Each structure stands twice: as C-alpha cells, then as structure tokens.
Amino acid sequence: MRSVSRDDKDDRDDQDSEDGQVDELPVPVIPVHPDTCVLPSATLHAFTVLDDVLITLAQGPTQWKVQLFECPCPGEDPRPGGQIGEVELSTCTPPAGSLGEPTAPRFLPVLCCASPPGSRAPHGHPWGSGGVTLEGALFGLLFGTDASLLESPVILCGLPDGQLCCVVLKTLVTSRSAPGDPKALVKILHHLEEPVIFIGALRTEPLSEDVEDVYCDCLVALGHHGRTLAIKASWDEAGHLVPELREYSLPGPVLCAACGRGGRVYHSTPSDLCVVDLAQEVSPWDLTQRDGAPGGLPSLLCPASLSVCSVVTLSVSSRAPEGGAELLALSAKGRLMTCSLDPHSETPHPTRVTSANAGQKIKELLSGIGTVSERVSSLKKAVDQRDKALTCLNEAMNVSCALLSSREGPRPISCTISTSWSRLQLQDVLTATCLLENSSGFSLDRGWALCIQVRRSSRALDLDSAVSAITYTIPVDQLGPGGQREVTLPLGPGEDGALDLPVTVSCALFYSLREVVGGALALTDPFKDPSSNERTPDVLPEQDGVCLPLSEHTVDMLQGLRFPGLAAAHTQALGPLSPARDPIHTFLETCCGPVSQPAGPASLRAKYLPPSVATVKVSAELLRAALGDDHAGVSLCSATLQWLLAENAIADIVRAQALSSVQGVAPDGTDVHLIIREVAVTDLCPAGPIQAMEIQVESSSLANMCRAHHAIVGRLQRLVMEQAARGSSPPDLRLQYLHQIQANHETLLREVQTLRDRLCTEDEASSCATAQRLLQVYRQLRSPSLLLL
C-alpha cells in the first residue's frame, strides 16, 4: 500500500482544522499473508537481490549452496520463476543434528554483490547494503580477466568458518545449460580463520571534480574476533598493477559493521561503536599511521570510540551533510537510534566551554571512571577465580594420572581398610577403619572427597531382601604429601540387632567439578548485554565429577568372629558380649537365687539339635606352596588356621599358642567352632594316598555356619587361582572315582528339588519328616569327598 506523503498530511490538516478536528498521521500497515512466501526453505541463511535475480545461500547436508532464482514480477505468483543456477562451495561439513540434518549455524553467512563499472548504473551510494561497484583495476585483480570481459557481477560469500569465496554470476547462470566443474566456478579469495561478519567496499582516494560516478577502490571484510582484511589495487616497484592486501586487528567481538564516506569503516562491539579510517587524505578523523607510496593502505588502524554500545545492526545514511556522517543503529535492546557525526566538532582548536557544560562533562567523566573501575574489579575477580579453578584442575589431572598409571605395585594414594570390635553406647559394634595415605607429591585440596560405600549382601534366608548400600562422603581438606586421614565407620549390628555378613567396603576419591569449576563458569560480565549470543556452554558432565577407585575390602564371618576365651585378661578391651544389664535387676536376681533361662528358638536349637557342620579338604602340598616360608617351624594345621584368621584380631594369639582349633562367637552370640586336622585321601590317586588338610566348621546356627563356610571357600578359591597362575600341575587321578562322586552329587541335587517341591504340598504333620531328610541331604552336600589340588 502507498505511504502517506507530506502533502497529503498538510491537506488533511487544513481540512480537519476547518471541521475543528485534528487527526494524527495514520501509520501505513502492510499485511503479510502466508501465500506471499517466496522460498519456504529451512536451510536458507542469507539472500540478496541483484536486478531481476534472487541470490540465496543455503546450508546443505555437507556443503553450502549458492542458488539463483528469477525474481517474481509484481502482480504474479510470489514464488520465483525458477532456479537458473546453483553451485556448491568447497567448505567444511556443517555440524550434524540429532537426525542427521544440519543444525543452524551459530553465525550466519554474509552475501555481497560486487559489480564492475560497466555492468550497470550505480544505485545510490556504493556503500549501501544493496551491493557495491568496484573500480575496473581492482575488479580485474580480484576476480580475473573473464569476469571483466563478461562485465558480470560477482557474488561474494563470507562463511562462518572464515572463508571468503566469490562466484561470477554469468558463469553460474551459463553452467546450468552447460554444466562444468563446480570447483572451477568458485574462487577462494582469502581465509580469515574466524566467522565473517561483514563484507563491503569504500572509496579511500579523493575524487576529481569532473568525476560523477563513485566507484569503490577498496574491498573490506571483518571477522567476528576483529580480524580485518582490506584489498586495494596498487603499483609495485616495477610499475605493475598488483593487489595490495593487508590484515588488521580491531577490538572484538564484532557484532556488525558498515562502510561510509571518506574511507571510514564503522564497527560495533558489545561495549563500544568504533570508527577507523582507511582514507588516504589527512583529516581530523585520521587516527592512522601511514607509510608507503600514494595509493597504499595504512599500516596500522587506530579505532576511535563513538561512545555507543551494543549495536547489533548498523547502516550509513545518505542524508548526512558534506564531511559528516549519519548512522542508523539498532541496539541489542531494540532501540532504534540515529547518530550524527559532525566533523567540525572534532577540530583541534580550543572551544569555549561554559561552566554548566564543564560541570556536566565532569559528572560524565566521573561516572565513566566509576563504571570502568567497577567493571575492571569484576573482571579481575572473575579472572582470579578462573585462574584458581585452572590450578585446581591441573592438580586434579596430575593426581588422576598418577593413580591411573599405577595399576600394579604401590599406589601413590592408597586407602587401607581394617576391622575391629568397639564398645559404643553399651553395645558391641563392628567398625571399619579407612586410612587414607597420600604418598604422592601432590596435595588434595578443595573439591576432593573420600567416598566410602558399605554394601550389605541380601539375607540368604529372606528371599525378599535386596542388596543395600550406604555411601559416606567425607571432604578431604588440605591433605598434603605424606599426610594421613583416618575415618572410622560402624558396620553393625543395626537397629534390629543383626549383622549380615559379608559386607563390602569400597573406597574411592571423588573430585567435584561443580564445586571447583562451576562457580568460575557461572561468572558473567554484568556490563555485557544479556541478549548477546556469547553464552557459556554447559561443559560439565552429568555426574559433575571424577571418581577414582582406591580399594575394596570384604568383611566376612572370619573377620567378624570374636574369641573371648582366648584373649588375655589385660587385652580385653571390650565389655561383656551382652548389653549391660540394669543393676536393679541384677540385685533382685542375686537375692532371689537362680532363675530358669529363657527357652528361645536359638537356645532350643543349640540344646536339642546337633550342630550344623561343613567340611572342605585341601591338598597339603597346595597349602605348603601357598603359605611358603612365612609359617616355617609351625605345624601345617596351625599355619592353616593362622592363614584363615589373618585379618582377625586373634591371629597373634593363635600364632603364639600354635592352635589348630578355636571356638569363637558370631556377632549374634552363637558359637562357631573351627577345626583343622590332617587326613589322608586314599581313593583319589592311583599312586597312593594324598595328604590333605580338612577344614571343619561347626555352629548351632545354620546361617552362621553357612557364612563361615562361604568365607573359607572364598579364601581357598583365591589361593587356587594364584597357584594355577604359577603353572603347577595336579597328580594323576582316578577319573572313574571322580565321575562317581559327580553322579552322587547330581542325585542329591535332584532329591533336594523333589523334597522342596514336596514341602509346598504336604501338611504340617507330614512335612516334619521331609524337612529332616532335606537337612540330611544338605549336610551330605556340605561335606563332599572332593579335594582341592
């Protein structure tokens, strides 16, 4: 729709004044409907229009594509008339999305059309956004003789990876009817090695008075981090026309840029709007140092501040007075501003300053100084915090490498786990002591923690119970080289009075990235525009830390046994096995005489039922080879018992008294009897009897007997694996005898399954005999005739 002109407004004002009504100037409204869409493509990232050609830049699966379309004529179908050319740019593969589709780039590409002097009449000023017209010499040097002879416009493409490419428009249109090599159509002019933000051209040399057309003699490209490229036609020492290329470094990050009159380039950063001068003439705006012959580019650019920040879009207006400039700027917060630059205000001669202006100027300077000081303090704090975080990360990396590289042998940082019984709150408690030792040359400072996990196994008699785990986290504060840290944790019994063994205690070092690095990454510049795209990515992993395992220790029944009858009187650090009784009840029982003991299930089982028994036979030769010279001069029975109880506090007494059998007390108070005797196995080897050690465990509690048997079998399994790794071979065996033992065991297992099924269907009277037979079969399975060799 046509916009309302000024004459229409004046006529309407005159008419309204006669009627006594004054209306404001109506705002023209242009409705945009979905059917006006020209190119419905999600891959389109940049476009420009040159005469009757629509030029687009789209992101393909692997490369960027330049496509040409015929522009729709007014009144026709809004869609383009058809594609008339296409070429793929030789660039790196864009990052792929989740489903293989290319994701939107962080920086958009830039398009600009450069035309030779004779291709078309210049439209407006050459520094506008619709394209630029270059001088013939510069055009030919940049794009070659073919583009100059064809008088064809050239499409300049600035890509997010830093490439500055060009495509001759007429060759691209021709290639559709006669396809050629796509690589020959694309020429890479330069590589900025950072995202290209702006491509433009300007006039640096003064014009003669008789020259009417204004052609640009310098091509300019700016990168996101401030790298600036300027290309101009110049003469070498031999008098040949050569391109002069110079790179400059301007303050960044660059948000936008624009070229203006007088060889000036305006560029915006989050904190300022600056201007640099590429012109040859000396003017009050000239802040550059120049060398070389006339027509050359300055060797250094010194930006001048315009005191405007966070401009995201910039355009140079053509309405500026002679020698001045007028900028149209859009800020990050959506404010549209017009900035007029008057060169006469920058004249070097002193101007008259009033007291009011001086006071206002002083206030502005003081305010600016305070703002800068506050920002410097904030940035210094952020830098210091990040330096500390980097130092901590470097130390953590050294510790991690030291631990991970010492898989075998002594570790630079170790955690030793031991168990003992203690008296806590009138109750005997089994405790685990974890001793963390730092033998490395590094220090464990802020962020390190010792994680101790206690895993309790499920109860064998409770099918519904599951494995439970408790993790304790203890911060490690200032543990230097050679330092130690000791942590003691209770293992049980719990509130129900039960201690389910075995219990696995695992120790690990945990380094919290969130605690050390999270604060440094969260720091932001309070003076930076929040709408800027410079956002810190969340680089921390989901677990927020690094876990380094140190050790794992299993506390079984053999470590949890106590032997009050063997301990000397002066070494009895623990109180009585049962909790302390009320003194009033003790006094009344003494006065009234002895009372009958309670007949609980455990007491009845111990009194009327035979103890549960399990035996394991081990070759004497295997034990001698495993125990070595550590138990020389001691009988093999006593040496075997010492080896089984090596992690129990009673080991020294067993070694001193050379015992081959002991009677201990389980955590719940029931007796557990360990007996080691020497036997001869006669039916296994045809060469004769094999000397063996029989390890027998007895207990009135079936559960405690099973736990002790499990602990013994676990130690023997590790012993057999160690000896097998040394290459020892067993003697000749009677295979028929082994087959018979195997068949007997399979028969017993089938009987166990039958008896268990029968218990589910029989009544209480009949199930008593079935249960007794089942216990007998289990007793036979726990005492096999097999021998560990």
**Is residue 564 scored above 80 in pLDDT?**
yes
- Per-residue model confidence (pLDDT) at position 13: 47
Which token pair is 112?
A: 């600009």
Query: Taking residues 405-430, what's their average pLDDT?
Result: 84
Convert the pLDDT of each residue in 692-716 to its tens digit.
Answer: 999 999 999 888 998 999 999 999 9
Convert the pLDDT of each residue in 519-549 to its tens digit.
Answer: 666 555 555 544 444 444 444 445 578 889 9
**Is residue 460 scored above 90 in pLDDT?**
no
Contact partners, residue 148, CB within 8 Å, separation at least 6? 116, 136, 139, 140
Q: State pTM to two decimals.
A: 0.51
- Per-residue model confidence (pLDDT) at position 761: 85
For residue 549, the one-letter residue type is: P
CB-based contact 546:514 (threshold 8 Å)? no
Long-range contacts of 176-185 (CB under 8 A, 24+ apart): 176/83, 176/84, 176/85, 176/86, 182/87, 182/88, 183/90, 185/87
CB-based contact 48:131 (threshold 8 Å)? yes
**Is residue 594 scored above 80 in pLDDT?**
no
Convert the pLDDT of each residue in 199-221 to its tens digit.
Answer: 999 998 887 666 666 789 999 99
Q: Which residues of 129-144 are buried (b: 16+ CB within 10 A; e: fewer)?
A: eebbbbbebbbbbbbe
Greatest alpha-carbon span in the chain = 137
CB-based contact 639:620 (threshold 8 Å)? no
pLDDT band at 224 (very low <50, low <70, confident <90, very high): very high
CB-based contact 384:535 (threshold 8 Å)? no
- Per-residue model confidence (pLDDT) at position 18: 46
Helix (H) or strand (E) holding 266: strand 264-268
CB-based contact 703:697 (threshold 8 Å)? no
Which of the given ranges, 57-66, 187-196, 212-221, 383-392, has the highest pLDDT on average? 187-196
Q: Specify the residue for token string 């020497």.
A: 678
- Per-residue model confidence (pLDDT) at position 230: 95
Q: Specify the residue for token string 């050609």.
A: 53
For the beta sheet containing 241-249, the strands, ordered from the edge strand earlier in sequence to the opposite edge, are 196-202, 218-223, 227-235, 241-249
- Length of the chain (residues): 789
CA atoms of 329 and 260, how far apart (whole Å) = 14
Helix (H) or strand (E) holding 773: helix 764-782
In degrees and rounded to multiples of 5, residue 522 shows phi and psi of -80, -10
pLDDT band at 146 (very low <50, low <70, confident <90, very high): confident
**Pairing outcome for strands 218-223 and 196-202:** antiparallel
Question: HSE of 397 in the Cβ direction (CA atoms, 13 Å)?
Answer: 6
Q: Specify the residue for token string 């709007």.
A: 273
CA nearest to 616, candidates 761, 716, 749, 729:
716
- Per-residue model confidence (pLDDT) at position 578: 43
